[in-house]
């Protein structure tokens, strides 16, 4: 046991784990990006549409979208505008507060997500095919635990 601990410390194990997580994240991002290409959507645009669908047609503002983004670096305003131009959502100035913008998914956006749903499950299974259900649960728990700041 002592030898194992020394070997781990000598190998700079935390750095290796961090690199593995970063590589896995990049690999996952590439798979998702490739899958969404057929729908002419970026991963970030897809995430905005999924967020709006979860809100069940509710009108939301930019801060709600920003808070729901996977990547904090995403430019929500730019993403929303691209999706508006494609007809997947509406973006209107609030009548009550002229400084706020109200965003809502359109029927066209809902239909696109329904279309993506048809291939998404198969895609997800392909991406995680080397992991058991238990391993997926453990991985999810560990990744969430890692993100908790103390």
The CA angle 126-127-128, to the nearest 5 degrees, is: 95
pLDDT for position 88: 98
Spans of all domains in the chain: 44-146
Six token digits for residue 137: 């649960």
Q: What is the CATH number of domain 44-146?
A: 1.10.10.10
Phi, psi dihedral angles at 100 (to 5 degrees): -100, 150
Please tell me what DSSP assigns to residue 60: B
* Cα–Cα distance, 18 to 15 (Å, whole number): 5
Residues across the chain: 150
**In Å, what is the CA distance from 28 to each residue of 19, 70, 95, 103, 132?**
14, 13, 41, 29, 17
Q: What is the pLDDT along the chain (150 residues), one digit of tens a residue?
A: 566 666 656 667 788 888 999 999 999 999 999 999 999 999 999 999 999 999 887 888 888 888 888 776 668 889 999 999 999 999 998 888 888 889 999 999 999 999 999 999 999 999 999 999 999 999 999 999 988 875
pLDDT for position 5: 63
Residue 89's CB: how many other CB atoms inside 10 A? 24
The CA angle 25-26-29, to the nearest 5 degrees, is: 85
């Amino acid at each position: 046991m002592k030898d194992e601990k020394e070997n781990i410390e000598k190998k700079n194990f935390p750095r290796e784990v961090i690199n593995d997580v970063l590589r896995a994240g990049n690999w996952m991002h590439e798979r998702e990006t490739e899958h969404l290409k057929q729908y002419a959507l970026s991963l970030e645009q897809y995430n905005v549409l999924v967020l709006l669908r979860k809100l069940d047609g509710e009108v939301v503002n930019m801060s709600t979208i920003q808070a729901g983004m996977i990547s904090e670096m995403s430019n929500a305003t730019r993403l929303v505008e691209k999706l508006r131009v494609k007809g997947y959502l509406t973006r209107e100035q609030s009548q009550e507060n002229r400084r706020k913008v109200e965003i809502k998914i359109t029927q066209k956006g809902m239909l696109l997500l329904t279309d993506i749903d048809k291939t998404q499950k198969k895609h997800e299974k392909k991406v995680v095919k080397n992991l058991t259900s238990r391993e997926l649960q453990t991985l999810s728990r560990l990744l969430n635990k890692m993100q908790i700041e103390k």
